[in-house]
Chain A
Amino acid sequence: MAAPKYLHLDTLSLHAGQLPDPTTGARAVPIFQSTSFVFRDTDHAAALFNMERAGHVYSRISNPTNAVLEERMAALEGGVGAIATASGQAALHLAIVTLMGAGGHIVASRALYGGSHNLLAYTLPRFGIETTFVAPRELDAWRAAIRPGTRLLFGETLGNPGLDVLDVPAVAEIAHAHKLPLLVDSTFTTPYLMRPFDLGADLVFHSATKFLCGHGTAVAGVLVDGGTFDWEAAGRFPELTEPYAGFHGMDFQEESTIAAFLLRARREGLRDFGACMSPTTAWIVLQGVETLPLRMQRHVDNTRKVVEFLAAHPAVAAVSYPELPEHPDHALAQRLLPRGCGAVFSFEIKGGRPAGRRFIETLRVFSHLANVGDAKSLVIHPATTTHFRMDDAALAAAGIGPGTVRLSIGLEAPEDLIDDLAAALRASQKA
Chain B
Amino acid sequence: MDLDVDGKRVFAYTGGRRFDPGLPCVVFVHGAEIDHFVWLLQSRYLAHHGYAVLAVDLPGHGRSEGPPLARIEAIADWLPALLDAARIERAHLVGHSMGSLAVLECAARHPGRVASIALLGAAFPMRVSQELLDATRVDEPAAHDMINIWSHGAYAHYPSNPGPGFWVIGENLRLMQRQRPGVLHVDFAACNDYAGGLEAAARVRCPALVLVARRDAMTPGRAAQALIQAVQGARVVEIAASGHAMMAEKPDEVLDALRAFLAQAGAAG
A interface with B by C-beta (< 8 Å): 1, 4-7, 12, 15-19, 22, 46-47, 50-56, 62-64, 66-68, 70-71, 74-75, 78-84, 226-228, 230, 248-250, 254-259, 262-263, 266
Residues of A within 8 A of B175 (CB): 257-258
Contact A256 B145 (CB under 8 A): no
A54 to B251, CA, bound (A): 8
A266 contacts B44, CB within 8 Å?
A: no
* Structural contact, B178 and A257, CB atoms closer than 8 A: yes
Sample (24) of A-B pairs whose CB atoms are under 8 Å apart: A1-B129, A47-B48, A50-B48, A52-B45, A53-B45, A62-B163, A66-B164, A66-B165, A67-B158, A67-B160, A71-B156, A71-B166, A80-B167, A80-B171, A81-B167, A82-B165, A83-B165, A227-B171, A248-B16, A255-B44, A258-B174, A259-B37, A259-B171, A266-B165
Q: Check if B150 sits within 8 Å of A15, measured CB to CB.
A: no
8 Å CB contact of A50 from B44, B131, B161, B177: B44
- Roughly how many angstroms separate A263 CA and B16 CA in the complex, as a whole number? 14
| Cβ–Cβ < 8 Å partners of B170 in chain A | 74-75, 78-81, 227
A18–B167 alpha-carbon span in the complex (Å): 11
Task: Name which residue of chain B comes closest to A223, CB basis.
Answer: B165
B165–A51 CB distance below 8 A: no
Beyond the given pairs A75-B170, A81-B170, A259-B162, 17 more chain A to chain B contacts, judged by CB atoms under 8 angstroms and listed by A's residue number, are A17-B156, A19-B158, A22-B158, A46-B48, A47-B48, A52-B41, A54-B161, A74-B170, A75-B155, A75-B169, A78-B170, A79-B167, A80-B167, A80-B174, A230-B178, A255-B16, A263-B163
A207 → B minimal CB distance (Å): 18
Closest to B179 in A: A257
Report how far A227 CA is from B173 CA in the complex, Å: 9
Assess whether A250 is in contact with B16, with CB atoms less than 8 Å apart.
yes
* A-side contacts of B174, CB under 8 Å: 80, 226-228, 258
Q: Are A16 and B155 CB-contacts (below 8 A) given A80-B170, A80-B171?
A: yes
Q: CA of A80 to CA of B62 in the docked complex: distance in angstroms?
A: 17
> Assuming the A-B contacts A16-B155, A53-B255, A257-B35, are A71 and B167 also in contact, with contact meaning beta carbons closer than 8 angstroms in the complex?
yes
Task: Let me know if B236 is at the binding interface, CB within 8 A.
Answer: no
By Cβ-Cβ distance, the 5 closest A-B pairs, closest first, are A74-B167, A4-B149, A70-B165, A227-B174, A81-B166
* Closest chain B residue to A37, Cβ basis: B159
A-B contacts counted at CB < 8 A amount to 148
Chain A residue nearest to B241 in the complex (CB): A19
A64 CB contacts on chain B under 8 angstroms: 158-159, 164
**A51 partner, pick from B157, B163, B255, beta carbons under 8 A:** B163
Interface assignment of B252: CB less than 8 Å from any CB of chain A:
yes
CB distance from A271 to the nearest CB of B (A): 12
Contact A256 B37 (CB under 8 A): yes
Q: Report the bound CA distance from A379 to B186 in whole Å.
A: 59
Q: What size tier do the contact residues of chain B reach?
A: 35 or more
B81 contacts A by Cβ under 8 Å: no
Chain B residue with minimal CB distance to A81?
A: B166
Interface residue B223 (Cβ < 8 Å from any Cβ of A) = no
Min CB–CB distance B86 → chain A (angstroms): 17
A230–B180 alpha-carbon span in the complex (Å)? 13
Which B residues, 1 to 45, have Cβ-Cβ distances below 8 Å to chain A? Answer: 13, 16, 35-37, 40-41, 44-45
Contacts of B70 in A (CB 8 A): none
Cα–Cα distance between A52 and B40 once the two chains are bound (Å): 8
Structural contact, B149 and A81, CB atoms closer than 8 A:
no
Report the bound CA distance from A81 to B252 in whole Å.
19
B171 lies within 8 A of A258 (CB) = yes
CB distance from A316 to the nearest CB of B (A): 44
Contacts of A262 in B (CB 8 A): 165-166
Q: In the complex, A30 Cα to B162 Cα: how many Å?
A: 22
Chain B residues near A63 (CB, 8 Å)?
164
CB of A57 to closest CB in B, whole Å: 10
Is the pair A81, B44 in contact by a Cβ cutoff of 8 Å? no
The answer, yes or no, to whether B138 is at the interface (CB within 8 Å) is no
- Taken together as a complex, chains A and B put the C-alpha atoms of A339 and B108 apart, in Å, by 58
Q: Complex formed: what's the CA distance from A63 to B251 in Å? A: 18
Task: Specify which chain A residues have a CB less than 8 angstroms from the CB of B156 in the assembled complex.
Answer: 15-19, 68, 71
Within the complex, which residue of A12, A79, A227, A266 is in contact with B155, where a contact is CB–CB below 8 Å? Answer: A12
Q: Closest B-chain residue to A73, C-beta based?
A: B167
Beta-carbon contacts of B175-188 to A below 8 Å, as 1s and 0s? 10110000000000
Q: Which residues of chain A are near B230, meaning CB under 8 Å?
A: none
Instruction: State how many angstroms separate the Cβ of B214 from the closest Cβ of chain A.
Output: 15
B154 at the A interface (CB under 8 A): yes
Q: Are A54 and B162 in contact (CB under 8 A)?
A: yes
Given the interface contacts A74-B170, A80-B171, A258-B171, does A53 sit within 8 Å of B251 by beta carbon?
yes
- The smallest beta-carbon distance between A375 and chain B, in angstroms, is 27
**Could you tell me if A51 and B155 are in contact, using CB atoms closer than 8 angstroms?**
no
| Cβ 8 A contact of B44, one of A5, A6, A51, A226 | A51
Query: Which chain A positions have C-beta within 8 A of B13?
Result: 254-255
Q: Contact between A74 and B166 (Cβ–Cβ < 8 Å)?
A: yes
Cα distance A259–B165 in the bound complex, in angstroms = 11
In the docked arrangement, what's the CA distance between A263 and B159, Å? Answer: 15
Q: Which one of A50, A54, A228 lies within 8 Å of B164 (CB-CB)?
A: A54
User: Residue of B at shortest CB range from A47?
Assistant: B45
> What is the chain A residue whose CB lies nearest that of B34?
A257
Interface centre among B37, B159, B252 (most CB of A within 10 A): B159
Q: How far is the CA of A230 from the CA of B175 in the complex (A)?
A: 11
Asked whether any CB of chain A lies closer than 8 Å to the CB of B146, the reply is: yes
Known: A4-B149, A257-B175. A70 touches B48 (CB 8 A): no
Contacts of A15 on B, CB cut-off 8 Å? Answer: 155-156
